[in-house]
Structure 1
Amino acid sequence: MVAEHGLPETLILNGEQRIRGIAEQFGMDYLGVTVSRDTTLQMTPRGDLETVWGTDRVPDEAVVFVTEMPRLYSLPVGAGRDKSARERVVIAELDRERGAAVISLPALGPSPRRRLGNFIATVVSALNDSSTEPFERTRGLLVVRDGDTEYVLATSNFGRIRLTAGMVRGNRPWRLIPTLTGMTAAAAAAASFGIFFSTIWSMANALSPWRLAAISILSMILASLWLIVNNRLWQRTADTPRQRARLYNTATVCTVAFSGVVLYAGLFIATLIAAMTVIDETFLSSQLGFQAGLNNYLQLAWLATSMGIFAGALGSSADSHDDVLRATYGYRERLRRRASESATSGEMSESR
Structure 2
Amino acid sequence: MDKTETDTRTVGLLADPGIAQSLANRVASRLETVLNEKYEDGTRWVIEVDPVSLPMNESGQVIVNKHVARLREKYGWEFVIYLTDVPQYERGQPVRSIINEAHGAATLVLPSMGVPRRRAVVRFFVQALHELAGGGKPPTRPTSLGRVLSVQVRIEDSADSGDHYDSIEGLRGRVLLVVGMILSNRPWRLVPRLSSALAGAAATGAFGVFYTSIWSMADYLSFRRLVLITVVSILVLTTWLLFHNRLWERPKGARRREKLLLYNIATVFTVALAAAAMYALLFIALLVGSLVVIDQAFLSFELDHEATMSEYLNLAWLAASLGTLGGAIGSSFDEVKSVQRATFSHREFERRNIEFGSFDAEEP
What TM-score range do you get, normalising by the shorter chain?
0.7 to 0.9
For residues 309 and 63 of structure 1, the distance between their equivalents in structure 2, rounded to whole angstroms, comes to 46
The alpha-carbon distance between structure 1 residues 104 and 279, as it changes in their structure 2 partners (threshold 3 A), is same
The one of 302, 307, 326 aligned to 1:292: 307
Q: Which residue of 2 aligns with 1:331?
A: 346
The one of 214, 222, 242 aligned to 2:228: 214
Q: Which residue of 2 aligns with 1:107?
A: 112
Q: Which residue of 1 aligns with 2:206?
A: 192
SS at match of 1:54: helix
For residues 227 and 159 of structure 1, the distance between their equivalents in structure 2, rounded to whole angstroms, comes to 29
Matches within 5 A, 1:252-267: 252-267=267-282
Deviates more, 1:3-12 or 1:213-222: 3-12
Which runs of no fewer than 5 residues in structure 2 stay unpaired?
Answer: 1-11, 358-364
The one of 6, 10, 33 aligned to 2:18: 6
Q: Deviations over 1:209-236 (max 9, x none)?
A: 1111111100000101111111111112
SS at match of 2:95: strand
Q: Does the 8 Å CA contact 2:60/2:253 hold for their aligned counterparts?
A: no
CA displacement at 1:292 relative to structure 2: 2.5
The alpha-carbon distance between structure 1 residues 239 and 292, as it changes in their structure 2 partners (threshold 3 A), is farther
Which runs of no fewer than 5 residues in structure 1 stay unpaired?
Answer: 75-86, 345-352
* 1:180 correspondence with 2:194: yes
CA displacement at 1:237 relative to structure 2: 5.1
Over the matched positions of the two proteins, sequence identity in percent amounts to 34
* 1:274 correspondence with 2:289: yes
CA displacement at 1:205 relative to structure 2: 1.9
SS at match of 1:176: helix
Q: Which residue of 2 aligns with 1:145?
A: 156
The alpha-carbon distance between structure 1 residues 14 and 125, as it changes in their structure 2 partners (threshold 3 A), is same
SS at match of 1:150: strand
Q: Deviations over 1:24-48 (max 9, x none)?
A: 44466645425243xx232222233
Matches within 5 A, 1:1-352: 1=12, 2-24=14-36, 25-26=38-39, 30=45, 32-37=47-52, 40-52=53-65, 53-55=67-69, 61-74=78-91, 87-129=92-134, 131-134=136-139, 140=150, 141-146=152-157, 147=159, 148=161, 149-155=163-169, 157-236=171-250, 241-339=256-354
For residues 20 and 139 of structure 2, the distance between their equivalents in structure 1, rounded to whole angstroms, comes to 23
Matched AA of 1:200: I
Q: Deviations over 1:280-318 (max 9, x none)?
A: 222222222222222222221111110000000110111
CA displacement at 1:163 relative to structure 2: 1.9
CA displacement at 1:62 relative to structure 2: 2.7
**TM-score of the superposed pair, with normalisation by structure 2:** 0.81
For residues 187 and 293 of structure 1, the distance between their equivalents in structure 2, rounded to whole angstroms, comes to 25
For residues 190 and 304 of structure 2, the distance between their equivalents in structure 1, rounded to whole angstroms, comes to 43
Q: Does the 8 Å CA contact 1:176/1:259 hold for their aligned counterparts?
A: yes
CA displacement at 1:55 relative to structure 2: 4.3
CA displacement at 1:323 relative to structure 2: 2.0
For residues 153 and 23 of structure 2, the distance between their equivalents in structure 1, rounded to whole angstroms, comes to 25
SS at match of 1:161: helix
Aligned residue pairs, count: 328
CA displacement at 1:200 relative to structure 2: 1.2
Q: In angstroms, what is the RMSD of aligned CA positions?
A: 2.7
Matched AA of 2:345: G
CA displacement at 1:160 relative to structure 2: 2.1
Q: Deviations over 1:103-147 (max 9, x none)?
A: 101211233111111111111112233643546868523111122
Q: Does the 8 Å CA contact 2:94/2:112 hold for their aligned counterparts?
A: yes
The alpha-carbon distance between structure 1 residues 303 and 99, as it changes in their structure 2 partners (threshold 3 A), is same
CA displacement at 1:248 relative to structure 2: 2.3
Q: Which residue of 2 aligns with 1:79?
A: none
Q: Which residue of 2 aligns with 1:347?
A: none
